Amino acid sequence: MLSNGKSLLLQVRAGGRYIPAFNIYNLETMQAALAASANAGQPVILAFGAGYRKHASFQMIYAMAKTLADSHAQEVVLHLDHCRDLSVIQEALDTGFQSVMFDGSQLPFPDNIEATQKAKTLAKAYGACVEGELGGLNSEDGDGGAEVPRYTDATAVKQFAGQTGVDSLAVSIGNVHGVYHGKPHLNFDRLADIAAQTSIPLVLHGSSGIGKPLLKQAAALGIAKINVNTEVARAGAAAAAAALQTPDGKRLDRVMLTVRDGMREVMERYFL
Ligand code: 13P
């Protein structure tokens, strides 16, 4: 069944664990995520970015996610990833999304609070959850190096969480979207300071390529949701490239099965 993920993420944070959120935009990405969740025996979050509407509408994604989740043994959360437009959030909520991210990270602090409060009010009418963001990463499909990230200011966290009422909070502690050039460095002192300010689940975007030891350390300090896209997308593309070189390469239906399996394999590695 689909859920809003609220009690799941609270439980996960309290237990010092995390749940992965994979970016999905079609049937195969969703099937890969659910197969990985089944094999891991753990819940999963399906994250559909507002920008993915060129692949499929909210309605199509919701219908597929609901159908798949209804026969899945594990809890599934369908989440709207990175959205800066309240009317798009409204649309997702109207469609049935029970978890949304309002990304006000590019706004001045008071404006971020105000807009996130509005998102929370919209979501409340549906019993849906809102993820906010404080600090800033590079853009969602960035290559992990083009823009300078702004670390989350730990002293602002209590006020932000308190005034907005967000259910989870994305933080910037050295994580970047896309490929890490060199070894990723997470600032755990900063994360501990942030975690001391709020008991809501914390979210680590840009988790591709961070590696389990660091992710485990992050979970022990309050990260309850890790967002993973780049590595899965690359694995899917690599599986397609390899499949194209085989006799099955002339058949898209067969290539797609290989792609789905390639993505599933990488997704499985992200469960704790
Ligand atoms: P990566 O693409 O770096 O894994 O980040 C995904 C993400 O944070 C989506 O919100």
Read off the pLDDT of residues 80-139 as tens digits, 9 standing for 90 and up: 999 999 999 999 999 999 999 999 999 999 999 999 999 999 999 999 999 999 998 876
Average pLDDT for residues 56-78, to the nearest whole number?
98
* pLDDT confidence of residue 65: 98
Calculate how far, in angstroms, residue 223's C-alpha sits from the geometric centre of ligand 1.
15
* pLDDT confidence of residue 181: 83
Burial grade of 155 (CB within 10 A; 0-12, 13-18, 19 or more): exposed
**Pocket flag, ligand 1, residue 178 (CB < 6 Å):** yes
Rounded-to-integer distance, Cα 216 and Cα 223, Å: 9
Q: How many CB atoms lie within 10 A of CB 168?
A: 25
Average pLDDT for residues 67-71, to the nearest whole number?
98
Q: Interhelix angle for 58-70 vs 27-40, to 10°?
A: 30
With cut-offs at 50, 70 and 90, classify the pLDDT of residue 147. Answer: low
Rounded-to-integer distance, Cα 5 and Cα 77, Å: 6
Of all protein residues, the one whose alpha carbon is nearest to atom 1 of ligand 1 is: 206
Specify the ligand 1 atom closest to the Cα of 82.
Answer: 10
Active site residue 81: yes
Calculate how far, in angstroms, residue 248's C-alpha sits from the geometric centre of ligand 1.
31
Q: Interhelix angle for 188-197 vs 157-164, to 10°?
A: 40
The chain-wide mean pLDDT, for the chain, equals 95
Rounded-to-integer distance, Cα 232 and Cα 250, Å: 23
